[in-house]
Amino acid sequence: MTQEMSRPNPDELLASIKLDEERSNRGKLKIFFGMCAGVGKTYAMLKAAQVEKLKGIDIVIGYIETHDRKETNQLLHGLEVIPPAINEYKKVLLKEVDIDSIVSRKPEVVLVDELAHTNAPGSRHTKRFQDVMEILDNGINVYTTLNVQHLESRSETVSQITGIVVRETLPDEIFEIADEIELVDLTPDELLQRFSEGKVYSPGQSQEAVRNFFRKGNITALREMALRIVADRVDIQLRQYMQQKRISGPWKSGLRLMVILGASTESVSLIRWAKNLSYTMGATMLALYVEPAKKLSPVQQEKLTRNINLAKQLGAEFISTSGVDYVKAILNIAHKENISHIIIAKPRRRNFLSLFRLGNYINQLVQHSGNIDVYVMGSNITGDEKYQKYSTLPSFSSGFSQYFLSGIITVLLAIAFYPFKNLIGYQVVSFAMLFMISILAIFYGIGPILLSATLCALCWNYFFIPPEFTLHIDKAEDVLMLVMFFTIALLNGILTTRVRKQEKLTRDREERTSALYHLTRDLSLASGMNEVLNVSVSAILKFFSLESAVILQGGNNELHNEIRHESKLKLNESDMSIASWSFFHAGKAGKFTDTLPSSSFTFYPLTGSKMRLGVIAIKHLNAFNADEEIFWDTFKTQVSNALEREFLNDLAIRASILNESEKLYKTLFNSISHELRIPVATIMGATDTLMSIDYNKETYQKLNNEIFTASERLNRLIENLLNMSRIESNRIRPHMDWHDVNDLAAKVTQSLRGELQNFNVELVIPDDTPLVKFDFGLMEQVLQNLVYNATQYAAKGTTIRIKIYYDSHHCYLQVMDRGPGFPPDTIPFVFNKFYRVEGTIPGGTGLGLSIVKGFVEAQNGSVTIENRQNGGARITVKIPSEKPDFERIETPNKE
């Protein structure tokens, strides 16, 4: 039982293997970590570099900031410095890490100071840590420095403690992927000492701020934070170690934490706090966004996007969902994702509309969460930001015209009923008004309904309920009726609007589903790369209203330098280099991203399950919102899959062609080299003998015969090869003309006179055989090959029958022998080039019959093989031909 328990969870094991794999290819990252500026991180890093250098390690400086401190400058001695890239921005020259030079220099270790630095606009990446990541990806180890306040998840706390807003932050992920963290520690007293000696340089802050910062309380807090992070990390490493070695520990495995984020600033601290928690718990983190029914304002949208990016940067997996019922939506996802902890923000203030709900959503969430722990975070941010309502209530978003019209309609209705009030009674009027409100609710939002309900109540009270023309009501039941009227009207309106909202959500989702369905269908129907691209690009235009361009890789894992479809997008050279970057790093780049955001296009890599395919460039005016992003991702995946399918197809075809030519080469080599060498050997041997040895007349004659036979064999082989290459290259242009088949037969039997002399040749051509249209040269070769084959395989003295006749628009040409015939299972293959039936006599290339087939087919004919009843083979060539037109044949000659 305990054995069972101590077995590592396969998922975790896999994760740790994956981590190992990733790390083995990548360079190692060592961070010199400190609590704040001035603790001596750069100094420690350079010192370590000097030690490595002494060990003979190729270590260079990629970027260093010594702030001209003497001790630090001294440590630079003997270290190679790769000059930084210099960018001009607003007439100021800014130095940044020169990634390309470092990569091409390819040292073992490179020093890059100040990991959290933000690059100048126009640089390749917005942040230096991205530069470092790229260097690491190229297998180069990096030494760098970092302060605790720059960690995304800690910056919030730091600014709370010190009052300084930390702008240069970087995702915690980089801290986690670091292979080594070296804590550079100093006691607060020592640091303050150094500060007062002016040895601490703090950029970008006013003197006052800096003085405020360097207080003992602050420094102690920061120090604690730094120490804790390092301690936590050690703890995690210990756990990883135990996991690998299957040592049981007290940890709870498989914790999954989900943070519910919103479009408010307070979500930021929520996400950071959740990250800290997940890190210490060793839990994976998910971030969930529940889309409200109401559309977000651009400001909110921007905040939301930032929050989502933050969550992603902190290593959270992001999910978005929609649903009118906020709590249900959260719990759905939580169950599906097997969440153990939900982290959610406390609603800031209660809204009067929440009166209509049965308790707020936090209560509901706690009530229904079952065994999921729910952490409710308090918020400390006050200000003009409004609490984002995910309420089940519809929102006030209707236009002015709706208010106006609903008011007018209400008043008109009241006026219309006024004359009849004595006839039908004032109670009935209230029903009519309720009816009208119900109808209005179908078309208008909640605001106009509220207005309309209030107006109705007032009108009814003032004009209809006695005493008329006063708001005073005599009877208690009328008061009750008025209250009930107002409530019913309002509820009616709210419910209807809610149904409508839900309906709209469903419709939106349906639209997307159907869009994806159409795309999938079209893509599966598309055949060939170009069609897939066309379908994709037009689908993007149709469903996203975006112009796009696809750049594919050229089969060598390098991006082709051309756009692979007709696009309205004009990508220049620098855009192409961004595309390349996106392709190689399998990350998005360009506008609205952290990498090269100065471009006017956004580039998304197209990655299939087995290979990288290319990059798609789109031009958007606004960044995708969370929902669109997910839709776009799915869309992209479909396109990638289809492209991958085509790519793999192409590769398979190419591979099979290669395979085929390999095979051809082998057969050619084996068969031809044999066929060429034998006659050459014969000729050389025979002539050698003739030159050197005394021979009698008979030997002389025999040797001469051998030489002649060998040359004929060579000649035939060459002829066959040339003919084959004519067929293969599709170079045959048959010259179809009228010919006498007798002429053909005579010609062939004459040229094969030698071979045929030992056979009984039977030539059968009916007297009434008309002239036939064919290419004489080709047919001569065909018949010659067939007859020659017969002489090679049939026994001497047997009959070879050549029969030519004309029947119903076709000329038939048959060659029959009494040889061994063809083994039935080989018949389908005998026309393949270089195919030879096993066990047949040596000599021959296996080209004869394939040439026959090629030449016959060039004349639109066909050829068949069958075995004759009493042994032997019959080969029939069938050529389509009309009878010639002879109407003027007896025209007297000109004499």
Partner 1 sequence: MNSEVIILVIDDEIQIRRLLEITLSSESYKVLEASDGKSGIIAAATHNPSLILLDLGLPDEDGQSILIKLREWYTNPIIILSVRNSDEDIIRALDNGAIDYLTKPFRIGELQARIRSALRLAQSANNSSSILTFNSLNIDLVNHVVKRNDEILKLTSTEFSLLVLLAKNAGKVLTHQYILKEIWGHGYIEQTQYLRVFIAQLRKKIEDDPADPLYIVTESGIGYRFQG
**Rule CB under 8 A: which residues touch partner 1?**
711, 715, 735, 737-740, 742-743, 745-747, 749-750, 763, 771, 775-777, 780, 884-886, 889-895
Q: Which is nearer to partner 1, 197 or 885 (CB)?
A: 885
Q: Which is nearer to partner 1, 422 or 893 (CB)?
A: 893
CB of 736 to partner 1, least distance (A): 10
CB of 755 to partner 1, least distance (A): 15
Q: Which is nearer to partner 1, 694 or 887 (CB)?
A: 887
Q: Which is nearer to partner 1, 260 or 778 (CB)?
A: 778
CB of 708 to partner 1, least distance (A): 9
Distance CA 599, CA 617 (A): 11
Instruction: Say which residues have a Cβ less than 8 Å from residue 548's Cβ, sequence separation at least 6.
Output: 536, 537, 540, 541, 567, 569, 616, 617, 618, 619
Q: In this structure, what DSSP letter does residue 826 have?
A: G
Distance CA 797, CA 895 (A): 51
Q: In this structure, what DSSP letter does residue 716 have?
A: H
Q: Which is nearer to partner 1, 236 or 763 (CB)?
A: 763
Amino acid at 680: V
How would you class 741 by CB atoms within 10 Å of its CB: exposed for 0-12, middle for 13-18, buried for 19 or more?
A: buried
CB of 799 to partner 1, least distance (A): 16
Q: Which is nearer to partner 1, 187 or 725 (CB)?
A: 725
Is residue 786 within 8 Å of 864, Cβ to Cβ?
no
Query: Is residue 114 helix, strand or coil?
Result: coil
Q: Which is nearer to partner 1, 176 or 755 (CB)?
A: 755
CB of 738 to partner 1, least distance (A): 4
Instruction: Say which residues have a Cβ less than 8 Å from residue 320's Cβ, sequence separation at least 6.
Output: 288, 289, 290, 291, 626, 627, 629, 630
Q: Which is nearer to partner 1, 532 or 813 (CB)?
A: 813
CB of 678 to partner 1, least distance (A): 18
Which secondary structure element, helix H or strand E, spans residue 745, and what is its range?
Answer: helix 741-751
Pairing of strands 760-764, 612-618: unpaired
CB of 768 to partner 1, least distance (A): 12
Q: Which is nearer to partner 1, 250 or 892 (CB)?
A: 892
CB of 851 to partner 1, least distance (A): 15
Distance CA 885, CA 134 (A): 80
First to last CA, the chain: 118
Q: Which is nearer to partner 1, 692 or 893 (CB)?
A: 893
Which secondary structure element, helix H or strand E, spans residue 606, and what is its range?
Answer: strand 602-607
Q: Which is nearer to partner 1, 379 or 711 (CB)?
A: 711
Q: Which is nearer to partner 1, 514 or 742 (CB)?
A: 742
CB of 758 to partner 1, least distance (A): 17
CB of 776 to partner 1, least distance (A): 5
CB of 892 to partner 1, least distance (A): 7
**How many other β-carbons are positioned within 10 Å of the β-carbon of residue 865?**
16
CB of 767 to partner 1, least distance (A): 10
CB of 722 to partner 1, least distance (A): 9
DSSP secondary structure letters along 184-246: E---HHHHHHHHHTT----TTS-HHHHHHHS-HHHHHHHHHHHHHHHHHHHHHHHHHHHHHTT
Q: Which is nearer to partner 1, 672 or 763 (CB)?
A: 763
**In 460-572, where does DSSP find H-type helix?**
476-525, 529-544
CB of 773 to partner 1, least distance (A): 9
Q: Which is nearer to partner 1, 691 or 889 (CB)?
A: 889
CA 885 to chain centre: 66
Is residue 793 within 8 Å of 840, Cβ to Cβ?
yes
Q: Which is nearer to partner 1, 474 or 737 (CB)?
A: 737
Is residue 102 within 8 Å of 62, Cβ to Cβ?
yes
Q: Which is nearer to partner 1, 120 or 802 (CB)?
A: 802
Residue with tokens 């029939």: 876
Distance CA 160, CA 268 (A): 14
∠ CA 616-622-624, rounded to 5° = 60
Q: Which is nearer to partner 1, 55 or 733 (CB)?
A: 733
Residue with tokens 């293959």: 829
The backbone torsions φ and ψ at residue 290, rounded to the nearest 5 degrees and listed phi first, read -100, 115
The backbone torsions φ and ψ at residue 376, rounded to the nearest 5 degrees and listed phi first, read -110, 115
Closest C-alpha to 739, from 777, 767, 789, 712: 777
Is residue 873 within 8 Å of 867, Cβ to Cβ?
yes
Closest C-alpha to 223, from 145, 164, 149: 149
HSE (CB half, 13 Å, CA atoms) of 66? 15
Is residue 95 within 8 Å of 104, Cβ to Cβ?
no
Q: Which is nearer to partner 1, 774 or 822 (CB)?
A: 774
Summarize the chain as % helix, strand, coil (round to 5).
50, 15, 30
Packing angle, helices 529-544 and 626-667, rounded to 10:
180
Distance CA 84, CA 128 (A): 13
Residue with tokens 């006063």: 470
DSSP secondary structure letters along 357-370: SSS-HHHHHHHH-T
CB of 691 to partner 1, least distance (A): 15
CB of 671 to partner 1, least distance (A): 22
CB of 765 to partner 1, least distance (A): 8
Closest C-alpha to 35, from 180, 214, 205: 214
CB of 715 to partner 1, least distance (A): 6
∠ CA 235-239-240, rounded to 5° = 115
